[in-house]
């Protein structure tokens, strides 16, 4: 977007050299304090410096490594504010949740053990419907915990997010995997 060129006259009638008119953001900044502008400038400098230094190191998958292991439930851990617990969740690439026994998701708050009986439990009687294959499965925090590859009202077949990321990394030899939904 081009700003218009402004010409003006001096008191003696001679022309002032042409200048570009200030943009709206420049006019707004004219009224900002020098301290605020300096803080913003320092922040931009810091962000650029950090960005360049992080480019030299390889990035890890965008998955919490604490969640890897035979007893993992999701990328969210018990010490985090909320996490989900899957009923009959097995640490397999393909997990079967039998919904005839009711599929439950437990919400556990910081400081409480996952084995406490007084934690609130939300029960979803219909976790998966037919035609939901390929949809992302989220926990109550909105974190992606896996991918549904088959489901109906009684049984859901579910691939855990850590297994998906590991498979993608092995297949593509990628240094970084990010899952966006």
DSSP 109-163: -TTS-TT-TTS-EEEES-S--TT-TTPEEE-TTS-EEEEEEEE-SSEEEEEEHHH
Both 95 and 46 in one domain: the answer is: no
Q: Which long-range contacts (CB under 8 A, 24 or more apart) does 39-47 make?
A: none
Both 95 and 134 in one domain: the answer is: yes
Q: Is residue 178 part of a domain?
A: no
| Boundaries of domain holding 12 | 5-54
Both 90 and 149 in one domain: the answer is: yes
Global pTM?
Answer: 0.30
Both 98 and 164 in one domain: the answer is: yes
Both 159 and 90 in one domain: the answer is: yes
Both 30 and 95 in one domain: the answer is: no
Angle at 134 between CA 125 and CA 59, to 5 degrees: 115
Both 19 and 71 in one domain: the answer is: no
**Where a domain ends, among 33, 54, 75?**
54
pLDDT in tens, the chain (181 residues): 343 444 555 666 666 555 555 555 555 555 555 555 555 555 555 544 544 444 444 433 344 444 444 444 444 444 433 333 333 333 333 344 444 443 333 333 333 344 455 544 443 444 555 566 666 776 666 677 777 766 555 555 667 777 777 777 887 877 777 766 5
Distance, in Å, from the CA atom of 96 to the CA atom of 83, rounded to the nearest integer, reads 20
Distance, in Å, from the CA atom of 9 to the CA atom of 170, rounded to the nearest integer, reads 70
- Torsion angles phi and psi, residue 123, rounded to 5: -110, 125
Both 87 and 151 in one domain: the answer is: yes
Q: Is residue 39 part of a domain?
A: yes
Q: Is residue 71 part of a domain?
A: yes
Q: Is residue 181 part of a domain?
A: no
């Amino acid at each position: 977007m081009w700003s218009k060129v402004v010409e003006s006259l001096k008191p003696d009638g001679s022309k002032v050299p042409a200048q570009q008119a200030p943009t709206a953001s420049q006019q707004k900044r004219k009224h900002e304090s020098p301290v605020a502008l300096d803080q913003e400038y320092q922040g931009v400098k810091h962000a650029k410096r950090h960005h360049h230094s992080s480019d030299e190191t390889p990035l890890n998958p965008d998955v919490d490594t604490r969640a890897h292991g035979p007893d993992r439930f999701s990328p969210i851990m018990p010490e985090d504010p909320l996490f989900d617990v899957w009923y009959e969740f097995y640490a397999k690439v393909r997990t079967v949740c039998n919904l005839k026994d009711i599929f439950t998701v437990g919400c556990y708050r910081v400081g409480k053990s996952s084995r406490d009986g007084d934690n609130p439990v939300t029960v979803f009687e219909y976790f998966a419907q037919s035609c939901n294959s390929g949809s992302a499965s989220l926990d109550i925090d909105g974190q992606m915990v896996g991918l549904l590859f088959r489901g109906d009202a009684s049984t859901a077949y579910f691939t855990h997010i850590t297994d998906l990321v590991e498979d993608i990394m092995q297949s593509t030899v990628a240094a970084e995997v990010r899952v966006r939904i």
